[in-house]
């Protein structure tokens, strides 16, 4: 069975601080996909990144960066120089295959609520 654990339920930081959101996953599959989604107060889920199990390169996109470590089954997300607009709930998710017709479901972590204050 697949499982995603986000131990940090809530994090509060002051604007411009860096913050790292942790994600640990469990799966028996050798091929799998990891995701991060942002859920602002309005409720919709915003896709941030997808990473497959064969690509352990870290990725940076603006102020966002992701650290994928297969050895520790972790896929952590760092926001550099946080801003108030980053305040949201962030979900890490896992899937055993991409959506190719026989669609696969996403297993979500419990989410980390990030509060960025001035």
Partner 1 sequence: GAVVSQHPSWVICKSGTSVKIECRSLDFQATTMFWYRQFPKQSLMLMATSNEGSKATYEQGVEKDKFLINHASLTLSTLTVTSAHPEDSSFYICSAIYQLEAFFGQGTRLTVV
Answer yes or no: are the C-beta atoms of 66 and 53 closer than 8 Å. Answer: no
| Two tokens, residue 83 | 């801003």
Q: Does 113 bind partner 1 (CB under 8 A)?
A: yes
Q: Does 45 bind partner 1 (CB under 8 A)?
A: yes
Cα separation, 99 vs 2, in Å, equals 17
Q: Does 106 bind partner 1 (CB under 8 A)?
A: yes
Q: Does 111 bind partner 1 (CB under 8 A)?
A: yes
Residues between 73 and 92 that touch partner 1 (CB under 8 A): 91
How many other C-beta atoms are found inside a 10 Å radius of the C-beta of residue 13? 16
Among the listed residues 43, 61, 62, 118, the single contact to partner 1 using CB under 8 A: 43
The CA angle 75-77-83, to the nearest 5 degrees, is: 170
The CA angle 57-48-101, to the nearest 5 degrees, is: 90
Q: Does 103 bind partner 1 (CB under 8 A)?
A: yes
Rounded to the nearest whole angstrom, what is the least distance from the CB of residue 81 to partner 1 in the complex?
25
Among the listed residues 30, 57, 61, 100, the single contact to partner 1 using CB under 8 A: 100
Closest listed residue to residue 91, CA positions, set 41, 43, 35: 35
Interaction mask 7-36, partner 1, x per CB under 8 A: --x---------------------------
DSSP state of 106: P
Name the residues that contact partner 1, by CB under 8 A.
Answer: 9, 37, 42-47, 50, 91, 98-101, 103, 105-106, 108-111, 113
């Amino acid at each position: 069975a697949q499982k995603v654990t986000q131990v940090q339920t809530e994090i509060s930081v002051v604007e411009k601080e860096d913050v790292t959101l942790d994600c640990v996953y469990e799966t028996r599959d050798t091929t799998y996909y990891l995701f991060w989604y942002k859920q602002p107060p309005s409720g919709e889920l915003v896709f941030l990144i997808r990473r497959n199990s064969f690509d352990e390169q870290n990725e940076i996109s603006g102020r966002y960066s992701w650290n994928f470590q297969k050895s520790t089954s972790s896929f952590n997300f760092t926001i550099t120089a946080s801003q108030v607009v980053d305040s949201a709930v962030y979900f890490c998710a896992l899937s055993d295959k991409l959506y190719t017709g026989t669609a696969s479901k996403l297993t979500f972590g419990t989410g980390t609520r990030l509060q960025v204050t001035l």
